[in-house]
Amino acid sequence: MSKSISGFSKLSKSHKIDWIVATYFNKNENAKNIIKQYWNSNIKLQQLHDEFIENTITNYYLPFGVAPNFLINGKMHAIPMAIEESSVVAAASKAAKFWLERGGFKAEVLSTTKIGQVHFMFHGDFEVLNTFFKTIKPKLIEAAKPITKNMEKRGGGIIDIELRDKTKSIEGYFQLHATFETLDAMGANFINSCLEQFAKTFREEALDYDGFSQDEQSIDIIMSILSNYVPNCLVRAEVSCPVKDLTEDPSIDAKEFAKKFIQAVKIAEIEPFRAVTHNKGIMNGIDAVVLATGNDFRAVEAGVHAFASRNGSYSSLTHAKIENDTFYFWIEIPLALGTVGGLTSLHPLVKLALELLHNPTAKELMQIVAVAGLAQNFAALRSLTTTGIQEGHMKMHLMNILNQFEATEKEKATLIDHFKTHTATHSAVVEAIKSLRKP
């Protein structure tokens, strides 16, 4: 059984590694070598990475790729993507090239409101509480002025605060439900600071409010925190073209392809088992761009999947239709993103990614990310309804299998050529390697 340790965070990085290797790897020097080989030779850059989180011992690298040829609202983009999964960048690139020749992607931000809540308990008369709230609401906003001052100068700040009665779900449970505009910042620290000030002022004012009984004055603040569910921070991206232009392959009938494609989307709209995988493919594209641009992909994931369930059943994020012989395919998705603050001004690759995207505003980045998700979904559905998903995916996965077997450059060249005309299943690749290596 591994032993515990006190004061681990106070150890130097080298001492942390020594303890881990001794305790969990039986003093195996190979483990230490693997950890150290991912250190950056640039000492200043490595120190920067070490200070992003606590107890850092090394760096964990993800491939940083680029998907070119994205025409979005008439402007060309090469989209950065940080992801480890085979075929994602290739699929996005292929979809971008397809739609480049058909007018490109259209995108618009529908709204940018973000949410934060003060959760509290109150067991008195609701009407008295409501009167109190209306009386002190201006004071809540005024007390937060030192926090909101700079944001307001840029055109953002607190939009509104509501009192919400949640006592039907939990006895005595209420919320201060606040909406914010944070412009180009994701705004988590700004929103949470405002909420904590609301809670402080709310509690203090309650103690001096004459309308409360002695028991009612004791409002119990549970917590103050932003919400990653942002259904009013919404972006729409779409593509369209005449049905007759929907395929480049003369062996595929365009009308039949459109029909099957739309049916596949409809299945994802009503069948949660399919919708989860359908949306996961969308998030392949979205998360990769969110991560490359230094945003919080966990927050995006949580908010997106909640949005997909907003009508009581988990459903597709994308939709498709044919109208007047024109094919339409679109996505509406909540995305709370930032282009200032956090890692955006610290991580060199994040700064490079944003520069690659022409230094977008938060709204422009929302549009780009939504387009990446739509492109990913189009590529996946096109494969699923024609050749099947495995043909393209396994050919992209081929290099990973070859590297697992430590194939030489000569072996790689031979096998890549072989699988241009053969189905690249894992077992087929293994058999081909064994056959190639036979004396």
Domains and CATH numbers, the chain: 8-50 (no CATH), 64-108+235-386 (3.90.770.10), 114-226 (3.30.70.420), 393-437 (no CATH)
At residue 83, does pLDDT exceed 60?
yes
Burial (CB < 10 A; 0-12, 13-18, 19+), residue 191, is buried
Mention every residue, 6+ apart, whose C-beta is less than 8 A from residue 141: 158, 161
The two tokens of residue 363 are 């709204």
Buried/exposed code over 115-152 (b: 16+ C-beta within 10 A; e: otherwise): bbbbbbebebeeeebeebbeebbeebbebbeebbeebe
Work out the pLDDT band at 399, boundaries 50, 70, 90: confident
Q: Are 286 and 373 in contact (CB under 8 A)?
A: yes
* Residues with a known catalytic role: 85, 280, 296, 393
331-376: per-residue pLDDT in tens?
Answer: 999 999 999 988 888 899 999 999 999 999 999 999 999 999 999 9
Work out the pLDDT band at 3, boundaries 50, 70, 90: confident
Check residue 385 and report its DSSP letter.
T
Question: Which pairs with CB-CB distance under 8 Å and at least 24 residues apart come from 35-44?
Answer: none
Whole-Å CA distances, 41 to 38, 45, 303, 349: 9, 8, 38, 16
102-115: per-residue pLDDT in tens?
Answer: 999 999 999 999 99
Question: Stretch 181-201: mean pLDDT, rounded?
Answer: 95
15-60: per-residue pLDDT in tens?
Answer: 999 999 999 999 999 999 999 999 999 999 999 999 999 999 999 9
Q: Are 354 and 360 in contact (CB under 8 A)?
A: yes
Question: Stretch 293-309: mean pLDDT, rounded?
Answer: 97
Q: Which amino acid is at 299?
A: A
Virtual torsion, Cα 251, 254, 258, 259, nearest 10 deg: -80
The residue among 422 and 322 whose pLDDT is bigger is 322
- pLDDT given at position 390: 56
At residue 220, does pLDDT exceed 90?
yes
At residue 161, does pLDDT exceed 70?
yes
Work out the pLDDT band at 416, boundaries 50, 70, 90: confident
Q: What percent of the chain has pLDDT over 70?
A: 97
Mention every residue, 6+ apart, whose C-beta is less than 8 A from residue 297: 286, 287, 290, 291
Kindly report the number of other CB atoms within 10 A of residue 273's CB atom. 10
At residue 392, does pLDDT exceed 70?
no
The two tokens of residue 346 are 């610290």
Kindly report the number of other CB atoms within 10 A of residue 51's CB atom. 10
Virtual torsion, Cα 318, 283, 99, 273, nearest 10 deg: -40
